[in-house]
Structures are given as C-alpha cells and as structure tokens.
Structure 1
Amino acid sequence: MTFFYLLTGFVILQRLLEVAYARSNEKAMRRQGAIEVGARHYKWIVLLHVLFFLSLVVEVWSSEGGLGVGWQVFLVIFAIAQGLRVWALSSLGRFWNTKILVLPGAEKVKKGPYRWLPHPNYLVVALEIGALPLVFGAWRTALIFSIANALLLLLVRIPAEEKALQQLKS
C-alpha cells in the first residue's frame, strides 16, 4: 500500500501544482485579452478527475492494495505519459492551461509534440487514466474512466478546442 500512497499522492500533488500553474497562466493571458471558450463543460472535466481519484482509492482499498497483473508494463506506460506531459506543458509554456483560452493574435503552438499531435496532453490523460489504476489492479476504474474520458474528450472538449483554434486563424 505504501507504493500506492506514494504514487497516487505524487499524481494528486502534480495535478494541484498544474492547477496553480494554469491559474497563473490564465491571469496573465486574460490581462492580454484572452477569452475563455467552452466554460460550460469545464466543471465536468474537473468532476471526472475528482471521481477518478476517489474511484481509484476505493477500488484499491477494497482489493487490499496489491499490485496488478503486469503492473510493471502499466508503470512504464504511466512513466512515458509523465514525460510526454512535461514535454507538452513546456512546449505550450505560458499558453498551457486546463481551460480553453483564446488569445487574439496569438499563433498556434507548433513545437514539441504539437508538431505531430494536435492534442498531446489528452493522450497523456488517456494513458494515465488507463495505466495508473492497472498498476494496482483497479481495472474497473481504468475501464469506466477511460470510457468516460474518451466520451468527454471526443464529443465535447476536443470539438470546443478545435473551434477555439479556428478562431485564432480568423
């Protein structure tokens, strides 16, 4: 269980630091005239992530917190996702945010993983939501939240972000 607490605590701390970084970037961008797009769905993204961690904890606790079958593979996938997360975040720099903010006149970022993938951070989140629970054998959490995340991203978030990126071109 110690490994579970350390890894889960690391991820939760990481998310809290990212929220602080996003808020700082948001304030700076709004001072420059950025506008938010897709604000109505943001609460659902936050809720999904909160419920993900709650589900993970409950499922791991109820199964007595052992490591899952093939946990090493899932830990490697999780570690790769962390590297991609840092690369995506650093590539966007001051533009990185958990919200969709459009800064009129700004150019679309096309460096780092954004040269090849339009939404690398969403790939990171998908890998994490799938791999982290499987490190601890929490397959129900991995399955339910992978599906919920995919639906939210594919049906709501990515279309809203694509529309916002089109506004940059206008």
Structure 2
Amino acid sequence: MPLPPDRSLPREVLRHPVHWLPFGLGAGLLPWAPGTWGSLLAVMLFWLLPPLEPLLHLGLAAAGFVLGVGLCGLSARRLGVHDHPGIVLDEIVAMWATLAAVPRAALWCGLAFIAFRVMDIWKPWPIREADHRIPGGLGIMLDDALAAAFAAAVVSSLWKLSESLY
C-alpha cells in the first residue's frame, strides 16, 4: 500500500527491513541531495574495506547491482513511488563500480565521486533514456550503472593520461 505524502516515510523505512539497504541504512533519509549522501557512504565503505583487485571490486558491484534490482524494486513498489529520491542503493553500487576504475588514492577517489555525481545528475543520453523508460528495480539501478560507466571512463582516462605525462 503506498504511503501518504506526509512524515510517515522515515517510520516506514526504519520499520520494514525491505527498505534498509535501498535507503542506504538511513543515508537516503538525510535532507538535501540524498543521492550525494549515498555516494559519500559508498566512498566511506570503499575506504573501510581492504584493497581489492579491480575485477573482484567490479564483481562485488555486479552482485550489488543484481541485489539492488530486486530490493530497490520491492522498496519502490511498497512506497508507491517508482524511484524515490531516498532510494540510494543504486548510487552506492554505482559509486563502487566507478571507484574500481581508479587507484586507491584520495585525489582519484575524489575525482571519481565528482564525475559520478555529475553524470548521475546531468544524465546524458543514454542515461536519461534508461531513467525514463525502464521500469522497476532494473530502471532504478541501470541509469546509475550507466552513469558509473561514463564516470569511470572519464576518470580512468584522466588517470592514464596523467601516468603517461609523468
């Protein structure tokens, strides 16, 4: 049953475990730009995890994508909103995928964060198409996965270019 547009959202999210991961363990409930908070949570988790090989890192992001399709779709259906702004698991997983493309250094992680947020907010083609045309959990997760691919391409190209110059 969809929620009325009032202050019952935080109660609903905290009460039902189906929302906990999609809402980034509460990061999606923070005011002002929940997607940015979710992306910051992903960067913090990245630094807390031990360093991983890029392919293993991408494998974890891929597993998160599959899990996210189901969980985000279920959470969205329960809330009665296709892609509620507080659902940030898509940003978390996509940010992990973006971080897999760069060295584990503050500069490159910061640039990856900025590039991902720009792509996720700007939504150039085909990201915008995925966001508007693909329903359910797949649509929620796919536009961010595409934004991650674009951001990773930009930042890893900058990294490779900087390596060749020095």
Calculate the TM-score normalised by the size of structure 2: 0.30
Greater radius of gyration (CA): 1
* Structure of higher RCO (CA pairs closer than 8 Å, 6+ residues apart): 1
